Amino acid sequence: MRIVVLAGGIGGARFLLGVRAWAENHHQVTAIVNTGDDLVIHGLRICPDLDSVMYTLGGGADPERGWGRRDESWVVKEELARYGAEPTWFGLGDRDIATHLIRTRMLAAGYPLSAVTEALCQRWKPGIRLLPMTDDRVETHVVTGGQAMHFQEWWVRHRASLPAERFVFVGADQAKPAAGVLDAIAEADLILIAPSNPVVSIGPILAISGIAEAVRGGNAPVIGFSPIIGDAPVRGMADRCLAALDVKVSAEGVGQMYGARSAGGLLDGWLVDSVDAETEVPGVTVLARPLWMTDEAETARMVADAVALAGLAS
């Protein structure tokens, strides 16, 4: 079976561990990853979500921090601080910087991000195919107090404390899906939407012209996983993002935001946690099962539930 997963960073990475465990070596998995969080710092191109997925699946992620490399050191960061170099709010570790140096050099030499990602994955061997959503530049901006700022500045520097009026995916309408993205969707037997942030992780992917249309119009069943359990995100500040869109912070709110494929939305099935068993999304089959990604085996079980919900035999 060919499985395509739409994913953000840390939540997406944890979910993909489970997808890979479920698939073992019998099924092909392609992840289409958000790049709206990307930024250039000290001249280096950083792709936080791609790196979270690549390091996590490659066994190189820091388990406590959730982002960046394990066994990291911070000498470059300290030296930059001594120069008074801005910005200081985005931490880049020494090991991590090597990834960004290679990426930036390859991009400058003319390679598209999809090819750069493939090259980086030769080292990390994530066991699945990793694709950026686009090879073009797209940046998520947050409008707060009538002014736009880069998503990372809002999220990391201000800890999402400034009220968001709206999110703008700058460049998304001109951006094309990265090489391989539309083919992967067209050839998929199953499409999974990871329990990633629906607004700023899945939202930008769907904003690239052609991707949502391909998912909606394809033959593969589409099954989503709620990142909200009860009335709060499992981790992080997705509630602050949903508030800007006037979406209720619940499995039902997010499910209804994605909507039924039969009604011009995305979903055929919606996995919600057992505590959210009352969830109703018109036109969508809702299945309530524990959705805590506590370990790989438990996350693989969530994937098995989605496969069954889609009516596919494993």
User: Rounded to whole angstroms, how far apart are CA atoms 7 and 54?
Assistant: 12
Contact 196, 7 (CB under 8 A): yes
Residues 5, 6, 12, 156: which binds ligand GDP (CB under 6 A)? 12
In the complex, minimum distance from the CB of residue 24 to Ca ion, in angstroms, rounded to a whole number:
28
Which secondary-structure segment (H or E) carries 232? strand 232-233
Tokens of 259: 């909507």
Closest CA to 211 of 183, 248, 233: 183
Cβ proximity to ligand GDP, 80 vs 168, nearer residue: 168
Which does residue 18 touch among ligand GDP, Ca ion, none (CB within 5 to 8 A, set by kind)?
A: none
**227 is a site residue for ligand GDP (CB under 6 A):** yes
Residues 92, 284, 291, 300: which binds ligand GDP (CB under 6 A)? 291
**195 is a site residue for ligand GDP (CB under 6 A):** yes
Tokens of 195: 């329990």
Antiparallel, parallel or unpaired: β 190-193 and 166-170: unpaired
Residues 3, 5, 7, 9: which binds Ca ion (CB under 5 A)? 9
Closest CA to 63 of 74, 48, 52: 52
Contact 19, 75 (CB under 8 A): no
Which does residue 132 touch among ligand GDP, Ca ion, none (CB within 5 to 8 A, set by kind)?
A: none
Residue with nearest beta carbon to ligand GDP? 11
Give me the residue label for tokens 């068993």: 277
Residues 5, 46, 47, 52: which binds ligand GDP (CB under 6 A)? 52
**Is the bond preceding residue 87 a cis peptide, omega within 30 degrees?**
yes
Residues 37, 38, 135, 268: which binds Ca ion (CB under 5 A)? 37
**238 is a site residue for ligand GDP (CB under 6 A):** yes
**10 is a site residue for ligand GDP (CB under 6 A):** yes
Which does residue 56 touch among Ca ion, ligand GDP, none (CB within 5 to 8 A, set by kind)?
A: none
Give me the residue label for tokens 């050839």: 187
**250 is a site residue for ligand GDP (CB under 6 A):** no
User: Rounded to whole angstroms, how far apart are CA atoms 283 and 29?
Assistant: 27
**96 is a site residue for ligand GDP (CB under 6 A):** no
The pattern of x and - marking residues 173 through 192 that bind ligand GDP according to CB under 6 A reads --------------------
In the complex, minimum distance from the CB of residue 285 to ligand GDP, in angstroms, rounded to a whole number:
18
Interface stretch with ligand GDP, choices 7-15, 95-103, 177-185, 279-287 (CB under 6 A): 7-15
**139 is a site residue for Ca ion (CB under 5 A):** no
CB atoms within 10 A of CB 191: 27
First to last CA, the chain: 8
User: Rounded to whole angstroms, how far apart are CA atoms 96 and 121?
Assistant: 14
**92 is a site residue for ligand GDP (CB under 6 A):** no
User: Rounded to whole angstroms, how far apart are CA atoms 160 and 148?
Assistant: 13
Residues 19, 22, 49, 225: which binds Ca ion (CB under 5 A)? 49
Mapping DSSP to helix (H, G, I), strand (E, B) and coil, where does residue 119 land?
Answer: helix
Site residues, ligand GDP (CB under 6 A): 7-12, 14, 49, 52, 195-197, 201, 225-227, 229, 233-236, 238, 291-293
